[in-house]
Each structure stands twice: as C-alpha cells, then as structure tokens.
Structure 1
Amino acid sequence: MQFEHSAHLRAAHPDLVAGVVQATGITATADVRQRAAGHLARARERLAGGPESTFGEIQAWRRAYTAMGLRPTQYRCASEALLRRLRLDGELPRLHPLVDLCNAVSAAYAIPVAVLDLDRVDGDLTVRPAHGDEDYLTFAGDIEHPDPGEVTYVDAAGRAHARRWVNRQSGLSAVRADTSSVLIVAEALHADAERDVTGLVAALVADLTDGWGPPVASAVLTAATPRFTVRAAGVPGEEVAPATR
C-alpha cells in the first residue's frame, strides 16, 4: 500500500510537509496518560500567550482553506478545533489511548494529526481533490459524498476517509477498541513545517514505543520524497530518533 498526496495538491500547496507513522500492536489498554499530559501542558503554555488563531501553524491552514473557497472559522482544521476546545474547556475528551495521545500531540504542535485504522483502508491511499462520487461514512452512520474538488483521503475502493482535508475524519477508519494497525498522518503548511513535523514524528515514535512498542516505520514527506510505503508486519522500516524531552 502507498500513501501520498497527489501532484495536483502538492502543486497547489508547495509548502506542504507530512509526517507519517505506521504502528501495529495497538490496544485500548495502554496507559499513555502521562505522555499525553506532557503534550497538553505544552499546548496550555502556548495558549497562555495568546489564542490559537494567532499561531503561525493555524494561520497557514486558514489561508489554505480560504484559497479552497472555505470559510476557515466555519471549517477549522483539526488542530485548531482541539486547541480551541482546550482553551475553552481546559481539557480534551478521552476516547481511546492512541486517539487521546495523538490529540494531545496535535494540540502541542498545533498541527493536524489523523489516525486511520489500516484494516479499514482498501489499497493505496491518496490525498487529492474529490471527484464527487466518493463515499464518506459519518460517525452517525450516514453516507455523504465530498463536493467535487474538495480535498479528501481516497482509497482504492473510492471511499473518502476525510472531509475538507484536515477538518473531519471518517467514521469508517476511525480507531476502535479492536483497532490494532494504524497509519498516523500529520500535515503542515507553515514556514517551519519540515522542522516541526520532524519533531512531531520523533515525539510520536517515542510515545508509541513507550506505550505499545516501536512503530513499524515512519517518515517525513516533502515534494522531494512524497510517497510512503506501508510495510507488511515484520518488515523493518526507517527509524526516527526519539524527541528530546
């Protein structure tokens, strides 16, 4: 299986950098609360200096949404929505250890992070403008079709795993109690995206290793290296050094 952003999308967003981590052996019983709390503390510290709307990472996504014809305050990128909730409520909801961890990492770095159950993704996964006939499963169980031109994650079966790029994930590939194999994707568009995504990936590798064991593979994708190969179990991948704490 291959994961990549389409050439059309990269041409429209040349500053795009994506971090990808493949992990197996995921369970719903791991205790990563301390690591998640550390990331949330970092997010709260940054929010103390000003609201999330002032962050360069968020502003870059707002500009991208405006360029795509979307109102950025109506359709917030996932990291902005998390930071806004953290600022207003003081906490983030607990759903699943891995989801909670990735939400905390997303808030700490102000970068959207998606977690997809690989057993529910059919074949290659491409981030591209929709044709309009892709099937998107909501968390309520309804089927929607992304608007033509709307950026989404599309697999080989024509199923859409996101709406409005990094606004909302699909209920189909969302992490469940029985999820064991995942693909984690972080995407950024701001000036220091490559540096920050590299740090985010390294932090996730350290967190996953502590909670579930070493990930199968990880990489930082740019225009020069745009594709990630999801590896079969037992096939070693590229290692990323743990982040400095």
Structure 2
Amino acid sequence: MPRPLYVSDEVRALAPGFAYLTVEAHGLTNGPSDDISSGLLEEAGRRLAERLGTRAPQDDPHIAAWRAAYSAFGCKPSRTRNSAEALARRALADGGLPRINRLVDIYNAISVAHLIPVGGEDLDRIQGGMRLVRATGEEPFAIAAGGAETVEHPDAGEVVWCDDEGVTCRRWNWRQGVRTRLTEESVNALFLLERMAPMTLDELTAAGAELAEALQKACPEARIEVGDIRPR
C-alpha cells in the first residue's frame, strides 16, 4: 500500500474540500515520448474539449474551486494557475500539449482528461515523508534557470509540498522543482492526484484507476499500487 502523506491542519482549514489519492509505482521503464504517450495526450485533449463545450477551463466548477483555494492563501489564480488549468489551456491552444517523456505524458493525459491536478515524483529522490504545509518562507526550492540549477524560496504562508530536503512543488501544484521530477532514468515514482469539492470521491477514484491502468500498459513488469483517498 502506498505510504500516506501528511496534510497540515492549517491546509485542511484553508480548503476543507481537499482530498488526494496516490499511485505508487516500482520498476517503471521511462523513455522519450512515443506514439502511445502522444496518442494519450491527443485523446485527453478531445475528452477535455467535449467536457468543456464552449466554456473556458476556469469556468469548470472543479477549476473554480481550485482558484478559490489559491486565493485563500494569497495567490492570484489568473496569474498563478493550478497545474490542471494550465495544462487544459495548453491542450486547447494551437500546438496542444507538450511532449516531455513517457511517464510525464501519461500523467499529464490523465490530468487533462479528468481536469484534475496530477503530479509525479521520483521516489528515489524524495527525502523522508512528503508534507503539504503552509511555508515559512525559508524552505529551499531547486529550479533550473538559464541552464543551471539554482535555489529560490516560497512566500511565507504559501501552500507547498515538501520533504525533508525542501520544497518539491510550490503554490500547491503550480510549479514542480527539478530535484524530484521524473526523468527518463526514473524507475520508481509517486503520482499524486488532488481534488477539491465539488469533484466527487468516485471521480477521484476513477482518475486514479485510469492512471494505474495506463502505467501498467506502458510498463507491464512494474508493480502499481493505488492508495486510499485522504484526508478522511
């Protein structure tokens, strides 16, 4: 069973409609984007367009709930978009979704198809347990800038995912750091699907099951485990 993650009381109070589901995978085989992962992204874009109809992504009730959560901790959601909204906008734009690598393409496809934030972390690079907290502003966050790795810090009070070494994702699910991201060499991964009400728990479960199925098809020898929905 995937390890549970820690969500602070401060974050629970900020967004009582929040819940997450983890999918843990061991023995993955990653590599460059291919026809299969590209096909998943294209199909996800079609599913998104059918879901939205004439609406913009921000008008979907689930994205509107994420925008409200971002506003609650001091972020402007039109300038700092949650990952699902950002990907949805790219999926609907000319050029469509970017191709990163097979594993990232797979979880991005699930994110767009279900309009839910999904992240992927390299389990071998996570230090200790992962936590969702409000930042002090002192935590290190590794990014790539100008071709080199550098460190910045979150704003005080910002909601961040972090481990024992520092922040892994800023502004809840806005920007992932370079330290734990999935690369073509990654073999063990933790995927995180994050929901706000009014998205139902059944819909969250369905998104997690579809991700697990896609990973198993792409990596038949991998061991895939879906966790329980939390917090309860």
Normalised to the residue count of structure 2, the TM-score between the two structures is 0.89
Find out whether 1:146 has 2:151 as its counterpart: no
Match of 1:203 among 176, 199, 210: 210
Q: CA deviation at 1:2?
A: 4.7
Which residue is equivalent to 1:14?
Answer: 16
Match of 1:216 among 211, 216, 224: 224
Aligned mate of 2:128, from 123, 130, 150 = 123
Shift of 1:90: 4.5
1:55 counterpart letter in structure 2 = D
CA distance in 1, matches of 2:199, 2:78: 23
- C-alpha contact 2:20 2:231 (8 A) present in aligned 1: no
Identity %: 31
Find the counterpart in structure 2 of residue 238 from structure 1: none
Q: Which runs of 5+ in 2 are unaligned?
A: none
Q: Match of 2:89?
A: 84
The alpha carbon displacement at 1:125 in A equals 0.7
Picking from 68, 74, 80, the partner of 2:73 is 68
> Which sections of structure 1, spanning at least 5 residues, go unmatched?
225-245
8 Å Cα contact 1:17/1:193 also seen in 2: no
- RMSD over aligned Cα atoms: 1.7
Deviation of 1:190 (Å): 2.4
Query: Over residues 129-150 of structure 1, what are the superposed CA-to-partner deviations in whole Å (9 max), with x where a residue is unaligned?
Result: 1122211011321101111211
Give CA deviations for 1:148-202 in whole Å, capped at 9, x if unaligned: 2111111123x10011111111111111111111100011112133122111001
Q: Which is further off, 207-216 or 167-176?
A: 207-216
- Cα drift, residue 49 of structure 1: 3.2
Give the aligned residue type for 1:25: G
Match of 1:102 among 107, 125, 128: 107
Contact 2:18 2:194 in 1 (8 A): yes
CA distance in 2, matches of 1:47, 1:90: 19
Q: Distance in 2 between matches of 1:199 and 1:215?
A: 19
* 2:44–2:113 CA contact under 8 A, matched in 1: yes
Aligned residues: 223
Shift of 1:48: 3.4
Give the secondary-structure state (helix, strand or coil) at the position aligned to 2:20.
strand
TM-score for the superposition, normalised by structure 1: 0.85
**Which of 194, 197, 200 is residue 187 of structure 1 equivalent to?**
194
For the pair 1:171 / 2:178, whether they are aligned, the reply is: yes
Q: Secondary structure at the match of 1:139?
A: strand
